[in-house]
Chains A and B, each alone.
Chain A
Amino acid sequence: MSGRAPIRVVPSGRAAIVVGSTARSLVRAEARAEARRRHPAGRGWRPDRRRMLQRLADRAYAGGAPWPRVAAAIVMLRGVAGDDPPTFAQRVGVSASTLAGLEAGAVPASSIPSCLRAVVGLVDWAWVDDGTRSDWGC
Chain B
Amino acid sequence: MEPQGCDDKDDELAQVMRRLAAGDEAAVVTLYERYGSSIAAAVRHVARSRPGRLDDDDVGGAVLDVCFELARVAGGWSPAGGALPWVWARHRVAGAVDRALGQQAQSLDDQRAEVLDRLAAAVAPGPSGDEPSLLDTLNRMASGDPAPRPALVDAAAMAGPGAGGPALASAATVPAPVVADAGRAVAVLDLTESDPAGAGGDEGAVGVDLLAEALDRGGVSTRDRELLLEYAYEKHSGNTAPATAVAPLFDMREVSVRQAARRTRERLLRLAASEERFAPLADLPLLA
Contacts and interface: CB of A to CB of B under 8 A. Distances in A.
Contacts of B29: 52, 56, 75-76, 78-80
Given A42-B40, A45-B37, A79 B59 contact: no
Given A79-B28, A84-B24, A41 B37 contact: yes
A44 B41 CA distance: 10
B84 to A, nearest CB: 12
B111 interface: no
A76 B64 CA distance: 13
For chain A, what secondary structure do more than half of its interface residues adopt (helix, strand, loop), or is it mixed?
helix
B9 A32 contact: yes
A48 B26 contact: no
Contacts of A51: 60-61, 64
Contacts of B106: none
Contacts of B59: 45
Interface string A87-118: 01000000000000001000000000000000
9 nearest A-B pairs in the assembled complex, by CB-CB distance: A79-B29, A42-B37, A41-B41, A79-B26, A45-B40, A78-B26, A79-B30, A82-B30, A75-B26
Interface in B10-68: 12, 16, 19, 24-30, 32-38, 40-41, 56, 59-61, 63-64, 68
B43 to A, nearest CB: 9
B60 A48 contact: yes
Interface of B: 4, 9, 12, 16, 19, 24-30, 32-38, 40-41, 56, 59-61, 63-64, 68
Contacts of B63: 45
B37 A75 contact: no
A33 B34 contact: yes
A41 B19 CA distance: 26
> How would you classify the secondary structure of chain B's contact residues: helix, strand, loop or mixed?
helix
Contact of B68 (A33, A37, A55): A55
A79 B9 contact: no
A45 B33 CA distance: 11
Size band of the interface chain A makes with B: 20 to 34
A4 interface: no
Nearest to B45: A41
Interface-centre pick from A42, A45, A51, A59 (highest chain B CB count, 10 A): A45
A41 B26 contact: no
B64 A39 contact: no
Most central of A29, A48, A75, A82 by chain B CB within 10 Å: A82
Interface in A33-49: 33, 36-37, 39, 41-45, 47-48
